[in-house]
Chain A
Amino acid sequence: MTTESFSELMKEIGEGRFVFTGEIEPVKTTNLHEVLETAKILKGHVVAANVTDNPTAFAYMNALVPSYMIQREVGLEAVYQMTVRDRNRLALTSDLLAAAALGIKNVLALSGDHTTVGDDPRAKPVYDLDSAQLVELVKKMVDQGVDLKGNKIIDPPKFQVGIAANPNADPLEPEILKIERKVNLGADFIQTQAVYDVELAKRFMDSVAYLRKPVLIGIAPFKSMAMMEWMVKFVPGILVPEEIQTRLRKAKERGGKEEVYKENLDIFGELVREIRKTTKAQGIHIMTIGFEWIVPKIIERSGIA
């Protein structure tokens, strides 16, 4: 299946360039200042930035407005994240129409962390569609100019649709078959959860090689030791190798925050370089909520310009 390129992200991937993407997280605020400042930091270093949709089921500012604003005000292309947790197929369809009207080119189709892990666990989870069915919705809109029911759209949208994958998944096989389902539905690219181990990235790339779709491997440097300890303790789905944990702990003992940042640069610059060198990944998705200034430094350290 060939992919038509509507977005800068897909154009660069199509040209065989190794790409970087970033991530911007609107929070519980009415102020767009932080979002725009973050976009300015990332601009020029990444080809596009994800704008998160109520991550970990916290009710934050709707992702569409910041997605639009970073494109309009900063000229940074957005990857508009959409989860199926909070909206039924009608709301998803209308938000996709609005997104296209505002010039959004990339959509990342997600199921979304469950409401029960969020900031109001009492909320009713929607899940009218699942993430695969959201891919079907986007593809129908783009390729056939209709919604899921087949109702015609005037001036259909042009989106690239990405999907998420977790190389840490254990067992991995059902995860791979799920990705296959979504690729068969027409997903354009695969973006992964945080990977901390190049061997893990290699195994994952090998297992999805038959799908022949571009993969962006996710990395998530540690803003603080507390964040690392939290991840190790409470996010069982992400594997942080002992070696990285030890290196960061030692850095902290050696020279506090500053040394931890420096160690991050070493660890993640190296990881990015290795992924580039030893896998067929088409790029790296860098998740650095709250310390985006490290993104250009990691890219620089990786030696990939």
Chain B
Amino acid sequence: MIITIQKPFDKILEMTKGSDKLFLIGCGICATECQTGGETEVKAMVEKLKEAGKTVTGYSVIESVCDERRTRLEFKKNEEAMAKADALLIMSCGTAVQVATDLSKKMCVPGCDTEFIGMIERIGRFYERCRACGDCILFETGGICPIARCGKGMLNGPCGGQSKGKCEVGGWKKDCAWVLIYNRLKDLNKLDEFRHYRPPKDYSLIASAREVVYR
């Protein structure tokens, strides 16, 4: 899940300054799950914007804004209302903002901050679990990702900053990923995996905007 949080309303007003007429876009998947840009949140935002003196020319909650095919269809359906708007307010992730930018001629404004790829424990409790590094090593780290969860992204941890299994980053409150990895591999009787040296990563693979193109 792409975890998002809504930008403060003041920030939304600041970003849309000079754009009096807005069209809102929500997302039916991640932003709905996070309760930052689903049907309910988009409707609430419409009301708040009206109260603040904006004109809302319409809104649409698209099943997955990041899927250009769906978004193109929805934009077609809403062509008229969108044409009247000065800007589009996208209550979804950064990818959604850019898909909307590509498909419309409007200024597209992010209504949310995109936080990370993470898990949902419950609403209000989201945790990062993957950095999308493109070279998954979870098979040798007991299913726990040190790239996302170690403050230093170490491949050969733990560092000297752990104490009682907690990490120095953030003041020893979060778990040290490498102690978690050690405990899990020990339980699995696979400490050899822990012992072995992992050489430096190849960052040339993620040097610029990545593309997956295979047909």
Contact = CB atoms under 8 A, between A and B. Distances in A.
Contacts of A185: 197
Given A174-B178, A174-B179, A180-B195, A113 B168 contact: yes
Interface stretch (B38-46, B60-68, B113-121, B158-166): B158-166
A132 B158 contact: no
Contacts of A129: 200
B153 interface: yes
A interface, by DSSP: helix, strand, loop or mixed? mixed
Contact of B200 (A117, A128, A174, A193): A128
Contacts of B157: 130, 174, 178
Contact of A130 (B152, B162, B168, B191): B152
Given A113-B168, A174-B194, A130 B156 contact: yes
A117 B197 contact: no
A136 B199 contact: yes
Contact of A89 (B152, B168, B197, B200): B200
Nearest to B155: A130
Interface in B147-191: 151-166, 168-170, 172, 178-179, 182, 186, 191
Nearest to B196: A181
A116 B169 CA distance: 6
Contacts of A178: 156-158
A91 interface: no
Contact of A131 (B151, B156, B172, B199): B156
Interface residues of A, number: 37
Given A113-B161, A185-B197, A133 B168 contact: no
Given A177-B194, A237-B163, A133 B156 contact: yes
Interface stretch (A23-31, A98-106, A162-170, A195-203): A162-170
B139 interface: no
Nearest to A116: B169
B185 to A, nearest CB: 10
Contacts of B214: none
A97 interface: no
Contacts of A127: 152-154
A133 B168 CA distance: 21
A173 interface: yes
A175 B200 CA distance: 20
A190 B3 CA distance: 42
A150 interface: no
A290 B157 CA distance: 31
Interface in A189-242: 193, 236-237
Contacts of A114: 151-152, 161, 168-169
A142 interface: no
Interface of B: 151-166, 168-170, 172, 178-179, 182, 186, 191, 194-197, 199-200, 203
Given A169-B158, A178-B156, 12 more contacts: A111-B159, A111-B160, A114-B151, A117-B169, A127-B154, A132-B197, A165-B160, A170-B163, A181-B195, A185-B197, A236-B163, A237-B160
Interface of A: 85, 89, 111, 113-114, 116-117, 125, 127-133, 136, 148, 164-166, 168-171, 173-175, 177-178, 180-182, 184-185, 193, 236-237
15 contacts: A114-B152, A116-B169, A125-B151, A127-B153, A127-B154, A130-B155, A130-B156, A171-B182, A174-B178, A177-B182, A177-B194, A184-B197, A236-B164, A237-B160, A237-B168
